[in-house]
Structures are given as C-alpha cells and as structure tokens.
Amino acid sequence: MTTPRWRALSSSEITEPVTVRWRIDLSYDGSGFKGFALQPDQSTVVGELREAIALTLRLSDVPFIVGAGRTDTGVHAFAQVIHLDLPERFYPDNKGPEDERLMRSLNNQLAGRITVHAVRRVSDDFHARHSATWRAYRYLVIESNSPALALSSAMSWTVEGPVDIDLMNLACQDLLGEHDFRAFCKRPDNVDAEQPLQRDVFEAQWTRLADTWRVTPTAAPALRFNIRAKSFCHQQVRSLTSTLVAIGQGKLPVSTIKERLESHSRYQLPGPAPAGGLSLIGVGYPEFAGGASGFVE
C-alpha cells in the first residue's frame, strides 16, 4: 500500500501567515473625503487607503488600519499616522527597499488625494492611537476688515474683523492644563450627559501671520491658532476656535472660556467653526516608535 502524498492538517498545525507592523505617515485634503474613518458607501481616507494597499500588494483582503486620530468630514491632515500589519515580505523579488517601493507605489495610485511621506517597520508594541503622547492641530482664520473683501479658502475661515488677538491669547490661558471640556465637545451618543470629558491641553496660542502675498495693504489678514493636547474630543478644536474668535470680535467676554469650563454649559455659545480651516499638523511618539510626525511651530 502506497503512502498518501498529502494529508489533512490538524487544527494545531494550521498557522497564520507571518506579519510585521508598519507605520505610515501621510497627509490629505479633507475636503474630498467624508472623514478619516471607514464608512459604508462613502469616500473616506481609510477606505481609499485600504483599497490602494490591497491592490498594490495584491493582498487577498483589505488590511485593517488604525489611525492616530479621526478627522471629521472636511478636516485636513499634514501629519496623520496609521499602523497596519502586513506580510513579512510583500515584495519577494528583492528589487530595492520595501518601504521605498511601497511609498512610491501608493503615491502613484493615490494621485495626490492622499500623500504618503514615510513608511517604516515598527515593533508590534507600536499602536498609532495608543502610543501617541500628544496631537497638535492648527486652525487658520482670514480676518476681513471690509464687507467687500470676501477671502475664502478650502483651508481657512473668513471672519469679520477687526479681531483682537491679545484678548484671544488671554482667554487661551484658561485652556491650559486638564479640564472638563463638556461645553466644547459634541458628546457621543453612548456617553451619559453627566460624564466628564477630561482633556489635558499643553499649548494654545494665536499668531498673526505675515502677509507675504500682499492680500491687503494694511495689517496681515491671516491668524493661526495652534493647540496641542494629549487627545481631543469630538469638535473640541472647532468649538474653541469659534468661541475665541467671538471673544476677539468683542461679542463674548474674555472670561467665557473659564466660565464655561466650570459650568459645562454650551448655552448661547457659537456653533463650531467650519471644518475646512482645521488641520492635524503633528502627532507625538516616543523614539522607539520613530518620533513625532509633522511639525509644531
């Protein structure tokens, strides 16, 4: 009797393919997406990335992607970070470094809608979200001093001027440290209204930018709001931005931030600033994870 040339494997002999963890740093124009996170039948950053990576590496299934943070519809990113697990070798021909080949292939496919800036192998301990030590956002405001001046951009918000930046920065001092930001966040449906939304803010600063394009013959019309924290709750930066701008316009007292952090009330606060002015500009990581992404002025 001849010995069979094959046999069924027992469950203990079946092994999963060997994978390694990769970190990818990327940027995107949020105006072309319905946010970062995957949504059925919607164009999202994760959805497009999954398809591009699966096609590039000829994977049998789309990969699972974890991001440093979820940007809303219309919000941009200059320094988003994701991680995903891929086969140990996905270019078996050994024709050049795998990280460089993957970055080049993805950028060719994504054609500027999403730009990959860095691809690197990391340890299995790295987690794009949980390993992050801080996130930094920037909001751009265009100050219009004349009703006839209708400056607008996909990456800024035009407001009626003049705006007192000193008052806004004075109010920013009340943001620093750990506070309950219930008054400035959109609460998730599954979170009780009385549950605190504690966040620790490290930096919050408004800067008037130089008018290098000579858009106006007088003062520079552009204002930049940079804010950095361990993490942010939903719509926190946009809600803070609109409130601070109202303070700068003299519509709200400078004490508004402090009072609302203590009262937790949104009553008669302005709605969140438009999504287009907001960008994720940096994510902090320890050295073992490759260090920070992006830039913080």
Catalytic residue among 72, 93, 164, 174: 72
DSSP, res 153: B
Helices 236-248 and 256-263, axial angle in degrees (round to 10): 140
3-state DSSP assignment of residue 144? strand
For residue 167, count other CB atoms closer than 10 A to its CB: 18
Question: What number of residues does the chain have?
Answer: 297
Number of helices and strands in the chain (H, E) = 5, 11
According to DSSP, the residues that pair with 144 across neighbouring strands are 160
Which secondary structure element, helix H or strand E, spans residue 245, and what is its range?
helix 236-248
Residue 72 annotated among the catalytic residues of the structure: yes
- Please, how many CA atoms are within 13 Å of residue 173, restricted to the half-sphere of its CB? 7
DSSP, res 182: G
For residue 196, count other CB atoms closer than 10 A to its CB: 10
Cis amide prior to 188 (ω within 30 degrees): no
Q: Which residues are the active-site residues?
A: 72
